[in-house]
Structure 1
Amino acid sequence: MVFNVVGAFSIVLLILTIGEIVSTKTKAFIPSVFVSAVLFLVGFWTVLPADIVTQSSFATPVVYLSMYLLLTHMGTLMSVRELLGQWKTILIALSGIVGICAMTLTIGRAMFGWQTVVAATPPLTGGVVASILMSGAATEMGLASIAVLATCMYIMQGFFGYPITAILLKKEARRLADQVKNGEMDVKHMKNSVGADLAEKEDASKSRFRIFPPVPEKYQSSYVILVKLGLVAWLAATVAPYIHLNQFVVCLLFGVIGREIGFLEEKALVKANAFGFLMTVLMAFIFAGLSQATPEMLGKIVGPLFGIIVLGVTGMGIMSMLIGKLLGETKEMAFSIAMTALYGFPADYILTIEAAKSVTDSDSEYEYAIETMLPKMLVGGFTTVTIASVIIAGIFVKLL
């Protein structure tokens, strides 16, 4: 079946929209990616053509353009000053990643084979970019079932991450609320908003390494912001072969540098009003890989899929709680920080807010719980999903 481009586009967006609505209605208990994946699978097995995503204009060139720009943009989200102030959080988050890799590359390899764990581990440590890199590499090697496994890993990991994190954060929020109730913590002089506190830290860090003057507001148009992102991404892709790093990893690093020196704006794609569309392109491309997933193939990968998730989460929990204890963090908070690898932003934000609301009885208890937990969860998610998973995927692509 062949649709015109706007018809195919509308069908793809309708499926993504249904997933988003279900996720919102269930407060992310049922992840949007799972709902969308099921709808795409049923569609591919019944009425949808296998190339519906390509027909909708979300083909390879625009997908790679989206990845270049999005990863460079992700670099602009990071304040070096703030990350350095959260060094304990970063170490805990990275220890969780180490725990995942340790379990999957040892026990997982013995149970499921080298190529299977190499393709599945990066998506488990992060998000959509790692999944695309690994599924694309597996497809190029003719490993169709492993490519589908990498995609399904990204889709299914949230079902483990959401409920476990919710339980852990509620327990941590209850402990913090009790500190306020018992008078162990004076909250009179606390700030009323985490956002305001973080904004002050951000302002303090903006000029530290700046060599480019700020662009006047009237000139910060979508064109100006996008051309600067494009130039930085182009430079990153050009430099990458010479320093023997994956080009997407270099885009991320150059985005950080570009923001620190003042050439790129913070949250560049958001200011250019382009972030939502480019993310839509990536999500559509992810689900396009499910066109290869026959019922027989899914039956073959279900064992490795859940086995690797269980092994990875176990390794993550052991390592993060061990390192967290050494750094003076509670086991609940440490495990929660590491678990951000399974979903990232905005789920880390939503889960933290929901947990604090559900167990606190006053504004002061809520504010203290949020100001204590939220910065750690956000930095943890940025460390795992945005940075570590992309770097790991760039390395594992060569090991496949």
Structure 2
Amino acid sequence: MAQMLALSIIVLVLFIGEAVSIRTKAWIPSIFVSGVLFLLGYWTFFPADIVALSGVPPAVAVMLIYLLITNMGTLLSLQELKDQWRTILIALSGIAGIIAALFGIGTLLFDYQTVVVAIPPLVGGLVSALIMSEGAAAAGFPTLAVFAIVIYVVQGFAGYPLTSIMLKKEGENLLTKYRNNELILKEMPTNQPGTVDKAVKEPRMFAKMPDKYNTDFFKFFRLALVGYLAYLTATLLTPVVEISPFVLCLLFGVIARSIGFLERHPLQKANGFGFAIMALLLFIFDGLKNATPSMMLEILYPLIGCIVIGVVGMYIFSFIVGKLLKVSKEMAFAVSLTALYGFPADYIITVEVINSLTKDEKEREVLTSHMLPPMLVAGFITVTIVSVILAGIFVGFL
């Protein structure tokens, strides 16, 4: 198969998944549709190495992981964390609930390695799933390598409807309070996680350098350099303590942004974010080439079991912490559930629910001010940050 034909086919698969997600207003996840199409392709006419043929070999994927995780670190704002500390504690408690439930109950039903591989993708996104898939394959567990990808592909089906139900109940309660003059409009944060603040002159360390020299290549260079420093640090620390370079990439990204060496979201500003995500998605779906129909049946039981047990643990822990912090059980659970999908699904679901509850523009503004910021911050913290840290730690348990 010619390289460009291979690339055209598999990018078309990604587009079909995206189109279905848009058409169904994210109720059917694009990742799920693309995953199913890749499986059908591998079971029929796809060459086993179609992703490598298209120009995305493993070395390119690893390079993009370094860039993407370092880029993630630049999105972290200490002020955002300070403003939404209750949200963060509840989101972290939900993740703790998943870990406790799966290690406490899951290990009685499934083997230890299955539980270890399941947790990071279940509380995270693309990068954590890829880290665990690669780690399982390297440790000699090919079935679990596929399992890590599949749990990432289907977990949204548990998160989307549950989140919608919780947010609708929360929205109805808020509307009742607002109509009884017990609720006011909150001031919305000007810069949500994952957005680019164009008003700030960044990077500060190069503020005096003319903008014409802050080219895309200069952004890529600084991003790559920070990623290399993270790798070098992890290598030097290996004799003392085993730390994943990917975890350090996240930390170094935060540091580089705080000292002004990197701007916020440099990969997006360098026009490389979309390509990086596309290539990484292709590479993670490449892991499905080993998924035979019999293997899919084999992992179906632990797949459903891990998701159900994890979500129950998440609800219990978020309910308890939400109660302590005086946050409603509906909002606490919704915030925790963002770990199952992250951005942009957290934004889409919240807006859809708000629009379905009222046609009054003022009421929509009030609901948005109370519901959207915590949902965005929670999705950012769980999927973008915590899941990568967990994957970096858990991959060492295999």
Aligned to 2:155, the other structure's residue is in SS state helix
Residue identity (%):
51
**Shift of residue 216, structure 1, vs aligned partner:** 4.1
Cα distance in 2 between the residues matched to 1:332 and 1:149: 30
Query: What amino acid sits opposite 1:108 in the alignment?
Result: G
Cα distance in 2 between the residues matched to 1:289 and 1:165: 29
Partner of 2:287: 289
Aligned runs of 1:219-368 on 2, under 5 Å? 219-243=213-237, 244-368=242-366
Cα deviation digits, residues 312-358 of structure 1 (max 9, x gap): 00000110111011011111111111111100111111111111111
Q: Structure 1 residues 140 and 360 mapped into 2: Cα distance closer, same or farther (>3 Å)?
A: same
Contact 2:192 2:377 in 1 (8 A): no
Cα distance in 1 between the residues matched to 2:74 and 2:36: 34
Contact 1:122 1:393 in 2 (8 A): yes
Aligned to 2:271, the other structure's residue is in SS state coil
Cα distance in 1 between the residues matched to 2:211 and 2:347: 29
Cα deviation digits, residues 213-265 of structure 1 (max 9, x gap): 36543333211111111111111111123343210111111111111111111
Cα distance in 2 between the residues matched to 1:125 and 1:391: 11
Query: What amino acid sits opposite 2:232 in the alignment?
Result: T
Cα distance in 1 between the residues matched to 2:348 and 2:287: 28
Cα distance in 2 between the residues matched to 1:51 and 1:356: 44
Aligned residues: 392
Instruction: Say what the alpha-carbon RMSD is for the aligned residues.
Output: 2.1
Aligned runs of 1:112-191 on 2, under 5 Å? 112-187=110-185
Alignment partner of 1:24 out of 22, 25, 29: 22
Normalising by the residue count of structure 2, what TM-score does the alignment of the two structures yield? 0.94
Cα distance in 1 between the residues matched to 2:164 and 2:311: 15
Cα distance in 1 between the residues matched to 2:295 and 2:191: 50
Contact 1:169 1:333 in 2 (8 A): yes
Query: What amino acid sits opposite 2:176 in the alignment?
Result: D
Cα deviation digits, residues 348-374 of structure 1 (max 9, x gap): 111111111110231121111111111
Q: Which runs of 5+ in 2 are unaligned?
A: none
Runs (4 or more) in structure 1 with deviation over 4 Å come to 209-212
**Shift of residue 307, structure 1, vs aligned partner:** 0.2
Cα deviation digits, residues 91-140 of structure 1 (max 9, x gap): 11110110000011121011011011111111001111111111111111
Partner of 1:213: 207
Cα deviation digits, residues 272-324 of structure 1 (max 9, x gap): 11000000011101111111010111111000000000000000011011101
Query: What amino acid sits opposite 1:301 in the alignment?
Result: I
Cα deviation digits, residues 58-110 of structure 1 (max 9, x gap): 11111011100000111111111211221111111110110000011121011
Q: Which runs of 5+ in 1 are unaligned?
A: none
Contact 2:196 2:265 in 1 (8 A): no
Query: What amino acid sits opposite 2:7 in the alignment?
Result: F
